[in-house]
Amino acid sequence: MSGRTFHIETLGCPKNQVDSDKLVGTLLADGLTPARTAAEADLVVVNTCAFVEEARQESVDVILALSDAKKAGARVVVTGCMAERYGAELAEALPEVDRVAGFGVPVTLSAARRAGPDLRGRDDQPVPSLDLLNLPRPASTSPWAYVKVAEGCDRACGFCAIPSFRGPQRSRTVESILREVDELQAREIVLVAQDLASFGRDQGQGQRAIVPLVRAVAERVDRTRLLYLYPSDLTDALVDAICETGVPYFDLSLQHVSRPLLRRMKRWGDGERFLERIADIRNREPAAAFRSNFIVGYPGETEDDHDELLRFVEAAQLDWCGFFTFSEEAGTLAATQGGKVDASLARERHLELTELQDRITAERRAALVGDTVEVLVDEPGVGRTHREAPEIDGVVRIPTDLETGTFAKVTVTGAEGPDLDAA
């Protein structure tokens, strides 16, 4: 690779950001330096998302825009979920791209030489020679950082194609995770995985591994946050461990509340169980914050199912909630199921739920006015309490003279939608 500078554009979820951070470390070790902008880079890497159609279209749009803006002689490499899932098809459809590289494929020759022989995964399954999961990465440039503790997923949810291209779950060793936590030098660590609470299960540790991992990370940093918890795996021990960290933030992957529809999705639970669990956690920790995501318009979703979800959202009073209109993914169970919901009806249901949750979020934020809270200063004028995960939730607007990377006690003086003002 003759290029001297690089730019990485990251799309999709926090797990993709971790992969990009590790690519940064690889490229730095390969002798490249970051460019100020994509248009000035010798190498432009686009880390794509392929979760739903909207994300795929955004990825294509960004690839084309960066290809048009690149300087003469620069190379564009596409990696990430779209590259893994649609590699050959993507390369044919986008002649503007110099290379389509799946997960772990080195983007430079010397990186390939350093990668060494293939590693082996569980059940002797091969994993990429350049295993992003275990690559080192630079120290965090912000006071917080994501840490991916596992790759892949063993579940078979009806709507999700991720296991088909991310593979089965591969958990990292606790030692490698803690080493990365130390090297990042961040005040807040956000643990992520496709199925976080199942960490260690592929290593024969059952549900025992996640709790000691959370406690070990919490001993090293001021804040430990968990994203993406499957509801059936939210054990009492894990709830206690999360509350003990001082960040009682629960990101529960619920997807719906109608029991028949959840069974069509190959998912566990129902609205009654979810409400009972949320109430139990709030009884233990009244300051607990909750986030979840729901799919609207899954095949077979009836008006009664939708009404049940509306009632749940009102009753649960979640702090944060995302709604996604169903996107049919090739190779999934949902693609073979009948009962398709008309797209316009799905959009109407999505809008109704979003308006309801926006009101709830605004009311819950307004209820904090007058409270004294502790924020981590992410940047001048912007902080977060335990209630706000970085990048996906609201923020607290704070005095600009508070030092980045420090903690400060402030009083909430106002609320505007998802955001708070404090002094």
User: What's the pLDDT score for residue 132?
Assistant: 66
Q: How confident is the model at residue 392 (pLDDT cuts 50, 70, 90)?
A: very high
Q: Which residue has the tokens 């009632």?
A: 311
Q: What is the mean pLDDT of residues 323-327?
A: 95
Averaged pLDDT score across all residues of the chain: 89
Q: What does 150-212 look like in DSSP terms, one character per residue?
A: EE------TT--HHHHH-S-EEPPHHHHHHHHHHHT-SEEEEE-TTGGGTTGGGT-TTSSHHH
Q: Which CATH architecture has domain 5-115?
A: 3-Layer(aba) Sandwich (3.40)
CATH 2.40.50.140 fits 372-422, yes or no: yes
Which residues does 90 contact at the CB level (< 8 Å), separation at least 6?
A: 78, 82, 83, 97, 100
Range with the poorest average pLDDT among 86-95, 238-247, 368-377? 86-95
- In this predicted model, what pLDDT tens digit does every residue of 23-72 receive, in sequence order? 888 888 888 999 999 999 999 999 988 777 888 889 899 999 999 999 99
Q: What is the mean pLDDT of residues 278-290?
A: 98
Q: Whose CA is closest to 160, among 54, 246, 50?
A: 50
User: What's the pLDDT score for residue 110?
Assistant: 44
- pTM value is 0.82
Query: CATH 3.40.50.12160 in the chain, residues?
Result: 5-115
Count, in order, helices (H) and strands (E) of the chain. Answer: 12, 18
Q: What is the mean pLDDT of residues 12-32?
A: 83
Query: CATH 3.80.30.20 in the chain, residues?
Result: 124-366
Q: How confident is the model at residue 2 (pLDDT cuts 50, 70, 90)?
A: very low
Q: Examine the pLDDT at 405 and tell me if it is beyond 90.
A: yes
User: What's the pLDDT score for residue 113?
Assistant: 38
Q: How far apart are CA 397 and CA 419, in angstroms?
A: 7
Number of Cβ atoms within 10 Å of the Cβ of 80: 25
User: What's the pLDDT score for residue 55?
Assistant: 80
Cα dihedral sign, 158-163-168-169: negative
Query: CATH 2.40.50.140 in the chain, residues?
Result: 372-422
Q: Examine the pLDDT at 415 and tell me if it is beyond 60.
A: yes
CATH number of 124-366: 3.80.30.20
Tokens at 228, concatenated: 């993406």
User: What's the pLDDT score for residue 126?
Assistant: 35
Which residues does 60 contact at the CB level (< 8 Å), separation at least 6?
A: 94
